[in-house]
Amino acid sequence: MIRIRNLTKIYHSSSGNVKALENVNLNIEKGDIFGIIGLSGAGKSTLLRCINMLEKPTSGSIEIDGVEMTRLTPSELKEMRKKIGMIFQHFNLLSSRTVRGNVAFPLEIAGLDKRTIDKKVENLLELVGLSDKADNYPSQLSGGQKQRVGIARALANDPKVLLCDEPTSALDPETTLSILNLLKDINRELGITIVLITHEMNVIKQICNKVAVIEKSRVVEQGPLIEVFKKT
Ligand code: ADP
Ligand code: ADP
């Protein structure tokens, strides 16, 4: 599903150059819940953001569903991004829009008609268990409920891949478990491939079938969860 070859990302800034990723190779297969774990500053966010080209790689290749991401025109990239949903540590919801309005947002951008959008939003809110909060604003929700809205929004365009940036780091342990179970259901029932970055081993152990360990901009281990952690 996702094939990354010799990916290198160097940030250029006034204080010098930072090599955030160095020769990263990853194979993520359809149906995987693929965890990427590492300390703060290891390069996890950069790697995740390169997958949907929010960051432009310095060199290397990223193939998603057979399409080379680094060579797309802006309009091709826009089409490809519909196949890639993303959720965030701090949810990134629009505070001026209701739950319904947040989930509808990507569908409005895609230009769907109102009836289709309403139906779709209703189904998505049911999927994440938030039908009764449709008219609430984000400020009226708990952290776990906000992340459920984030998940519903990320699924709006029927993506094949869901990228998760520290999805539970702002949540308490109980809420973390319920969000991870929701992600597991989405993977199993909708067949969506999940890529998740985290600094927490528990998160990896709860849901991932495969894991890559990233240290100082390099992937130092990757494979099935049991094999990678047999060695530690
Ligand atoms: P992680 O997600 O594992 O915490 P990041 O990918 O955020 O790691 O960061 C990797 C390295 O790249 C760090 O040294 C960080 O300071 C640096 N970095 C990240 N984003 C930028 C940026 N936009 N400009 C310059 N350096 C950056
Ligand atoms: P995260 O919790 O994802 O690791 P960070 O606080 O590392 O978040 O980064 C937040 C934002 O700041 C990101 O967009 C990242 O690219 C950017 N960033 C991180 N490190 C640097 C840096 N050294 N210089 C400039 N931008 C940075």
Rounded average pLDDT per 10-residue block, the chain, 232 residues: 98 93 98 97 97 96 97 95 96 98 96 97 98 98 98 97 97 96 97 97 95 97 90 60
Residue with tokens 């991401």: 69
pLDDT score for 134: 98
Top mutation candidate among 12, 19, 45, 89 for ligand 1, by most atoms within 8 Å of CB: 45
pLDDT score for 230: 78
Euclidean distance between CA atoms 200 and 147, whole angstroms: 18
Instruction: Tell me whether 0.90 is exceeded by the ipTM.
Output: no
pLDDT score for 229: 83
Pocket lining for ligand 2, CB < 6 angstroms: 13, 45
| Cα(22) to centroid(ligand 1), Å | 13
Query: How far from 112 is each of 20, 61, 131, 162, CA to CA, in Å?
Result: 38, 33, 21, 21
State the burial class of residue 102 (Cβ atoms within 10 Å of its Cβ: 0-12, 13-18, 19+): buried
Q: Which atom of ligand 2 is nearest to the CA of 169?
A: 2
Query: How far from 46 is each of 52, 63, 231, CA to CA, in Å?
Result: 10, 16, 27
pLDDT score for 95: 98
**pTM for the full model?**
0.90
Q: Which atom of ligand 1 is nearest to the CA of 40?
A: 4
Q: Which amino acid is at 187?
A: N
Q: Which atom of ligand 2 is nearest to the CA of 165?
A: 3
State the burial class of residue 153 (Cβ atoms within 10 Å of its Cβ: 0-12, 13-18, 19+): buried
DSSP string, 78-136: HHHHTTEEEE-TT----TTS-HHHHHHHHHHHTT--HHHHHHHHHHHHHHTT-GGGTT-
